[in-house]
Amino acid sequence: MNLLTEPVFRVQTPRGPQAWSLPALLAALGADTVESLPGLQRHQEDAFHIFLCYLAGAVLARADLQDPIQPEAFWRDGLRRLAGREDDCAWTLVVEDVMQPAFMQAPLANKSDWAAFKPKA
């Protein structure tokens, strides 16, 4: 699942429930059209809010802008630039190649390190 292109975030809006990608969510937050994120548990709300603010602030700062009202494409392009890669693997929840980063997961430095991993389930 690619956070930049797939509607993985459940959002409550004045028009009813929606499912949006991360860039669409940032665009809607900037436009103040998000009422709530029903998928979040109460203990996750503050951390997720901080995370979204950090991402938005980093994208805006790199673009030398302050206005959070930006279109979805602006956020998508800005998030891709933050990752500093040509592909979206850094914004993908699971990647096949352990030598590539995934969302909040660093790549393995050496493929031989994979042998040391043991499944817990």
Q: How do residues 22-57 score in pLDDT, each as one tens digit?
A: 999 999 999 999 999 999 999 999 999 999 999 999
Burial class of 59 by CB neighbour count within 10 A (0 to 12, 13 to 18, 19+) = buried
In DSSP notation, 26-55 reads HHHHHTT---B-TTS-GGGHHHHHHHHHHH
Quote the pLDDT of residue 67. 98
Where do the structural domains in the chain lie, given as residue ranges? 9-85
Report pTM: 0.87
Nearby residues of 17 by Cβ (< 8 Å), 6 or more positions away: 10, 11, 38
Quote the pLDDT of residue 121. 62
> Kind and range of the H or E element at 86?
none
φ, ψ for residue 119, nearest 5 deg: -65, 140
Q: How do residues 49-106 score in pLDDT, each as one tens digit?
A: 999 999 999 999 999 999 999 999 999 999 999 999 889 999 999 888 888 888 988 8
Residue among 73, 86, 68 at smallest CA distance from 22 = 73
**pLDDT at residue 113 above 90?**
no
